Amino acid sequence: MSMETVRIIVNGATGGIVNRQHLEHALMPIIREGGLRIGNKTVMPELLLVARDEAKLAKVAKRYGIARWTTDLASALSDESYPIFFDAGFTGQRPVVVRDALNAGKHVYAEKPLVPNLEVGRDLLALAKAKDRRHSVVEDKLFLPGIAKLRHLSKQGYFGTVTNFRLDFGYWIFDGSDHPMQRPSWNYKEAEGGSLVLDMYPHWRYVVEGVLGPIKRLVSRSWTSVPRREDESGQVFDVDVDDSNVTIVELESGAIGTISSSWARRVRADDLLTFHIDGAHGSASAGLHRCQIQPAAATPKARFDASVDLGIDYREQWMEVPDVAPFENGYRKGWEAFLRHVIGNEPPAADFTAGMRDVALAQAVARSSVEERWVEMDEVTA
381 pLDDT tier (thresholds 50, 70, 90): confident
Q: What is the pLDDT of residue 90?
A: 86
Contacts of 179 (CB under 8 A, 6+ apart): none
Q: Could you tell me what percent of the chain has a pLDDT over 90?
A: 90
CB atoms within 10 A of CB 19: 19
Residue 67, pLDDT > 90, answer yes
Lowest-confidence segment of 17-26, 211-220, 373-382 by average pLDDT: 373-382
Lowest-confidence segment of 92-96, 212-216, 249-253, 326-330 by average pLDDT: 326-330
* 34 or 324, greater pLDDT: 34
Q: What end-to-end distance do the CA atoms of the chain give, in Å? A: 47
242-276 pLDDT, tens digit each: 999 999 999 999 999 999 999 999 999 999 999 99
Q: What is the pLDDT of residue 12?
A: 97
Closest CA to 227 of 199, 200, 189, 253: 189
Q: What is the pLDDT of residue 310?
A: 84
Q: What is the pLDDT of residue 365?
A: 98
Structural domains of the chain, with CATH? 2-139+330-349 (3.40.50.720), 141-329+360-371 (3.30.360.10)
> H/E element holding 22?
none
10-28 pLDDT, tens digit each: 999 999 999 999 999 999 9
Q: Is the peptide bond before 113 cis (omega within 30 degrees of 0)?
A: yes
Instruction: Provide mean pLDDT across the span 187-196.
Output: 92
| Distance from chain centroid for Cα 21 | 12
CA dist., res. 117 & res. 293, Å (int) = 38
Please give the single-letter amino acid code of residue 30.
I
124 within 8 A of 95, measured Cβ to Cβ: yes
The model's pTM: 0.92
Instruction: Provide mean pLDDT across the span 107-131.
Output: 95
Residue 117, pLDDT > 80, answer yes
Residue 1, pLDDT > 80, answer no
Residue 327, pLDDT > 90, answer no
Q: Could you tell me what percent of the chain has a pLDDT over 70?
A: 99
Residue 303, pLDDT > 90, answer no
Q: What is the pLDDT of residue 281?
A: 98
Three-state DSSP string of 327-339? CCCHHHHHHHHHH
* 184 or 104, greater pLDDT: 104
Write the burial class of residue 295 (CB in 10 Å: 0-12 exposed, 13-18 middle, 19+ buried). Answer: middle
Q: What is the mean pLDDT of the chain?
A: 95
Contacts of 233 (CB under 8 A, 6+ apart): none
Q: What is the pLDDT of residue 308?
A: 84
Largest CA distance in the chain: 75
Specify which residues 105 forms β-bridges with: none
CA dist., res. 191 & res. 182, Å (int) = 20
Instruction: Provide mean pLDDT across the span 62-72.
Output: 97
185 pLDDT tier (thresholds 50, 70, 90): very high
CA dist., res. 356 & res. 139, Å (int) = 12
